[in-house]
Amino acid sequence: MKLYLDFDPCQECNTMMAELSSPEMLFADEKTRSDESAKFLRHLTYNHNEVVQAVMEDLPKQKKGSRT
Ligand SMILES: [Zn+2]
């Protein structure tokens, strides 16, 4: 998973992004990798919700009834 977003990663983000792109992770099995990705996404959801919102808005799908 590659995630280059315009936000201020905290220490935890940096650690997890480093883990995700580490050589160990490249050779890890799929479950480990998806676990790590899920962990990172969960962290983003709870700690950097604006990033998640931005990603959602970036997705090429129709959004209706969004609050403004
Ligand atoms: Zn963070």
> Residue for token digits 């883990």?
19
Give the distance (Å) from ligand 1 centre to CA of residue 28.
23
Cα–Cα distances in angstroms (integers) from residue 8 to residues 5, 18, 24, 25, in the given order: 9, 15, 25, 23
Q: CA-based Rg of the chain, rounded to a whole angstrom? A: 14
Q: What is the pLDDT, as a whole number, of residue 55?
A: 77
By three-state DSSP, how is residue 52 classified?
A: helix
User: pLDDT truncated to tens, each residue of the chain (68 aa)?
Assistant: 455 567 888 999 999 999 999 999 989 999 999 999 999 999 999 999 888 888 778 777 665 666 66
Q: What is the pLDDT, as a whole number, of residue 62?
A: 60
Give the distance (Å) from ligand 1 centre to CA of residue 42.
10
Give the distance (Å) from ligand 1 centre to CA of residue 15.
9
Give the distance (Å) from ligand 1 centre to CA of residue 47.
6
Q: What is the pLDDT, as a whole number, of residue 54?
A: 81
Give the distance (Å) from ligand 1 centre to CA of residue 24.
21
CA-based nearest residue to 46, from 21, 10, 14: 10
Give pTM, 2 decimals.
0.69
